[in-house]
Amino acid sequence: MAKPRSGSLLFLIAALLLAASQVAMASSDVPFMVAHKKASLKRLKSGVEQVAVTIDLYNEGSSTAYDVSLSDDSWPQDTFELISGSTSKTWERLDAGSSVSHTFVLESKAKGVFHGTPAIIKFRIPTKSALQEAYSTPIPPLDVLADKPPEKKFEWVRYLHTTTYLLFLIYLPCL
């Protein structure tokens, strides 16, 4: 039987990480866009649910990004209706270390599980003529208009009442 060479594998991984960090340091004078997309569901009444989408955009690089545009066209019009805001937004510039946020609200038209795609961010850097592209984080699947059991908001009150009653019965004979 041959022994696994874990030492050489670790050396290879360390060498790759070192090379990747040197490449990253060589090109560190550029914008580095990080985008976080999140969605929350809010049931208004039976058969109507709103989806509030927020996309936070951060420039974690060391230089300014110009002509920044955000587009989130992953919401099909036959399933969702735009209530407020817009699914796209532009900014003239996003300085290094700064952040912006964009929010829009949709209303569901159909019941089912929705799998959204990441939003697309395009921006320009002074050293390159071509637009750069970045993607937001994807959202987890949304179960729109799902049949959810009613929440037990006041379950703790019943527990407290029962516990107090039992404690009273236990300590009553001691008096």
DSSP state of 61: S
The domain over range 29-169 is classified in CATH as 3.40.50.1860:
no
Instruction: Report pLDDT digits (tens) over 51-99.
Output: 999 999 999 999 999 999 999 999 999 989 999 999 999 999 999 999 9
How many Å from the N-terminal Cα to the C-terminal Cα in the chain?
A: 78
Separation between Cα atoms, residue 77 and residue 94, nearest integer Å: 30
Separation between Cα atoms, residue 111 and residue 48, nearest integer Å: 9
pTM of the model: 0.69
Separation between Cα atoms, residue 165 and residue 160, nearest integer Å: 9
- For residue 122, pLDDT over 80 is answered with yes
Collapsing DSSP states into helix, strand and coil, what is residue 15? helix
